[in-house]
């Protein structure tokens, strides 16, 4: 994906008590992250609880994700929506003097559509009411990466702004990935063509969206509202204009 930002919410190290990591500024365009919790060691019988929080100003924080570990291992997931600042807090519980050695790191990314778009423009939210947040964010991340593959042939990434047509295609592709993650039911409603928001959401929808991406890549479609990262050209200095001679010579 375009311009991912590597983030470390908790560097590798041992902890023996609850704590809090430093706030990480991911900017205003990045609204999601893929993170991995690597627990290298954990006292037998102890539990490590890691919370990822986000804030628009570094002052007021909201919880986005909770990860639990009761043994050494690795957990990977997607988290969002994220505001400008992200941090981790953790609690460690257990008998005696529990300790844990762990790291929490990953990458922050731009999304061309968000959870609200997915609920309002994709398949109806009731179809995924049991879906965890991680797979929904991950589907949007995958769909955004697909869009970047087409956009990168014509635009300098990362995009600074984009329009509703790109947002709608990313929602359709993300919905496809969610249905694929959930599993297709050939005997149920997945066997018929589903229309929602003007987009077919079965295999045909993915084909239609892919055609749009291909048309963008080859210049046959021009997405609205695109502002890429091409530097603006500015000219400085005096501008001189000359006119035809008027019949006198310089002295």
The string of DSSP letters for 139-180 reads HHHHHHHHHHHHHTTTS-SSPSB--HHHHHHHHHHHHHHHHH
- Residue-level pLDDT at 196: 34
CA-CA distance, 184 to 28, in Å (whole number)?
36
Two tokens, residue 187: 């005997």
Residues 6+ apart with CB under 8 A from 190: 179, 184, 202
Q: Which pLDDT tens digit goes with each residue over 56-106?
A: 999 999 999 999 999 999 999 999 999 999 999 999 999 889 999 999 999
- Residue-level pLDDT at 211: 85
212 has pLDDT over 60: yes
Long-range own/partner contacts, residues 203-210 (CB < 8 A, 24 or more apart): 203/176, 205/172, 205/175, 205/176, 206/172, 206/173, 206/176, 208/172, 209/169, 209/172, 209/173, 209/176
- Residue-level pLDDT at 125: 56
Q: What is the mean pLDDT of residues 12-19?
A: 96
C-beta separation of 38 from 77 below 8 A: no
Domain extents in the chain: 5-110, 115-217
26 forms bridges with which residues in the sheet? none
pTM above 0.95, yes or no: no
- Residue-level pLDDT at 187: 56
- Residue-level pLDDT at 200: 45
Number of helices and strands in the chain (H, E): 4, 11
- Residue-level pLDDT at 246: 47
10 Å CB burial of residue 171 (0-12, 13-18, 19+) is buried
> What fold is seen in the domain 5-110?
Jelly Rolls (2.60.120)
130 has pLDDT over 60: no
238 has pLDDT over 70: no
């Amino acid at each position: 994906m375009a311009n991912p930002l590597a983030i470390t919410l908790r560097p590798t190290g041992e902890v023996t008590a609850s704590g809090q990591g430093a706030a990480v500024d991911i900017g205003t365009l990045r609204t999601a992250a893929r993170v991995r919790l690597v627990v290298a060691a954990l006292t037998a019988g102890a539990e490590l609880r890691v919370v990822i929080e986000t804030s628009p100003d570094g002052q007021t924080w909201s919880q986005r994700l909770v990860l639990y570990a009761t043994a050494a291992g690795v957990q990977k997931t997607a988290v969002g929506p994220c505001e400008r600042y992200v941090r981790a807090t953790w609690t460690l519980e257990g008998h005696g003097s529990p300790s844990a050695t762990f790291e929490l790191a990953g990458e922050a990314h731009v999304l061309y559509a968000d959870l609200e778009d997915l609920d309002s423009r994709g398949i109806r939210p009731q179809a995924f009411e049991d879906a965890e947040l991680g797979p929904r964010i991950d589907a949007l991340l995958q769909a955004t990466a697909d869009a970047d593959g087409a956009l990168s042939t014509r635009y300098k990434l990362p995009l600074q702004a984009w329009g509703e047509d790109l947002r709608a295609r990313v929602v359709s592709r993300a919905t496809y990935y969610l249905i694929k993650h959930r599993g297709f039911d050939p005997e149920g409603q997945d066997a018929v063509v589903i229309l929602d928001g003007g987009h077919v959401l079965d295999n045909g929808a993915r084909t239609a969206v892919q055609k749009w991406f291909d048309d963008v890549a080859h210049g046959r479609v021009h997405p609205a509202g695109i502002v890429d990262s091409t530097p603006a050209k500015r000219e400085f200095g005096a501008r001189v204009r000359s006119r035809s001679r008027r019949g006198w010579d310089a002295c």
